[in-house]
A and B are shown apart, each in its own frame.
Chain A
């Protein structure tokens, strides 16, 4: 009897181990492929010139492979969208978990989460057809597809990520801490700001960083509404060309295993490294401010 149970235990253990191993393996192979296809370009152009070159003319004779304007564009778009999405996302989370009545929360939460299930191409189309002309008119700028528009659309996309993860973090703060704070005579606002918020800071920071890494990697939206000019933006209304937009726009027509093709994969490597850094940062922040038990505050 016990022998049989032990056998099942071992079987279950290894089955799950194999499944986990498989996903790690697949990820590893994709990364390997990415590097194999990207690295050949560095025999034509140095890593420094690739990353810090300011001209991107991949099909010219001779070609220029400098992705610095694209990197700058990616960061500007991500930063600006974070400025919009962090306050909105975090405050919505605070509202849902702390302030709203149960019935209101039950309506607001799924609606915010529904934002995440909107296909990015729909958001891109919205940005192109509705937000673009609107921005053009209101701010009196020559083009509506630009850095500002792209950031707004990306903010829409990262709000659900930020909101859901922050909300989980806030909800996991023990009720006894809120009760203690209120019992000491603190108001509800003081409790939220001085007890609940610091206690869930680790979760909120993770949410913010993951939201930003979603924004930096998002492709369809920036392809449709960023404008696509490979230059360092002069203002928030300049058209820009973030890294993923460049890859998506050019990959289809780049000759297979040509220099341009390798350069696009190298752009992918750069993007991969950025998202990886974001994720490591999120992990680091989460473990640094981790709240264990009620006594450590």
Chain B
């Protein structure tokens, strides 16, 4: 009892600190999206090396949090692995805030299965049917006669939202789907479960899992850049109004050739 309460108190105080720490002049505060986080971190490190006076703090916490922090004015840059939602845009206008999106990278999401699975390709329609629970056996898509174990990310993950929008067309994921809290755990689960299917960002592909091609096109830097691969999304950094000074400099750095190389290093797809 007591132990948990003190733990909760600690968590809340940390959350409180995150929320109350407002942006200061000269420093850049970056918040939001665990997907964009590695890019922001790498870019911040490289930027601070080149500009010893700059001080950048980076924290994660979900795309929704990043955009909300921009609307509330508690951060300089809000990361998001999706575009601003209608509701959020409306809220921003009501508060007189004009969030400006900068596209900083691309990410393609790849369906993965165990290397023991014979399937190599699925159509987007088949993927949708599997995730809505209409297809429940691998033999329906040309595989073995085994039940499909559907693995998904948690509902608040940006990857989940992208998958839902692009593959599910906003239909609901079947309730019996396993949900896993991180991309690393997804790979781990798939490697251990022969009959499972899941999806991860391009940067998380490893040898333990097999990437499926979608509609006959396999996810890669080339197919994503050419627009041929269907499950791909841009990643954004939002600012409150047009950025100035140090913040503008940093955004310029991320979108520069050097910055885009860092994007590639972080496991994502550069814009050019």
Contacts and interface: CB of A to CB of B under 8 A. Distances in A.
Nearest to B181: A249
Interface stretch (A3-11, A173-181, A193-201, A224-232): A224-232
Interface string B119-159: 00000000000000000000000000011010000111110
A254 interface: yes
A144 B62 CA distance: 29
Given A61-B170, A229-B175, A253-B34, A279 B61 contact: no
A86 interface: no
Contacts of A133: 192
Contacts of A223: 181
Contact of B64 (A136, A142, A217, A254): A254
B175 A255 contact: no
Contacts, number: 104
Contacts of A142: 146-147, 149, 193, 195-196
B179 A249 contact: yes
B12 interface: yes
Contacts of A33: 12
Q: B-side binding surface: helix, strand, loop or mixed? A: mixed
A74 B106 CA distance: 39
A225 to B, nearest CB: 11
Nearest to B60: A252
B175 A230 contact: yes
A223 B4 CA distance: 16
B8 interface: yes
A144 B154 contact: no
B8 A144 contact: no
B175 A69 contact: yes
Nearest to A227: B178
Contact of B175 (A26, A143, A231): A231
A250 B175 contact: no
Interface string A23-35: 0001100100100
A279 B178 contact: no
Contacts of B228: none
B213 to A, nearest CB: 24
B189 to A, nearest CB: 7
Nearest to B148: A142
A144 B193 contact: yes
B210 interface: no
A248 B62 CA distance: 14
A229 B178 CA distance: 5
A252 B61 contact: yes
A30 B175 contact: no
A78 interface: no
Contacts of B15: 256
Interface stretch (A52-60, A91-99, A102-110, A149-157): A52-60
Nearest to A232: B175
A258 B64 contact: yes
Nearest to B161: A59
A253 B64 contact: yes
A212 B189 CA distance: 29
Interface string B67-103: 1100000000000000000000000000000000000
B1 A275 contact: yes
Contact of A255 (B34, B62, B154): B62
A3 to B, nearest CB: 38
Interface string A231-269: 100000011010000001110111110101000000000
B68 A249 contact: no
B41 interface: no
B255 to A, nearest CB: 26
A127 B157 CA distance: 24
A258 B179 contact: no
A253 B5 contact: no
Contacts of A228: 154, 178-181
21 contacts: A26-B5, A26-B9, A30-B5, A58-B155, A58-B156, A59-B155, A59-B160, A69-B175, A142-B195, A142-B196, A213-B1, A227-B178, A229-B175, A229-B178, A249-B154, A252-B62, A253-B63, A253-B154, A253-B156, A255-B68, A256-B19
Instruction: Rank and list the top 4 A-B pairs by shortest CB-CB distance, nearest first.
Output: A253-B62, A255-B64, A253-B156, A228-B179
Given A252-B61, A253-B61, A254-B64, 5 more contacts: A142-B147, A143-B149, A228-B181, A229-B179, A250-B155
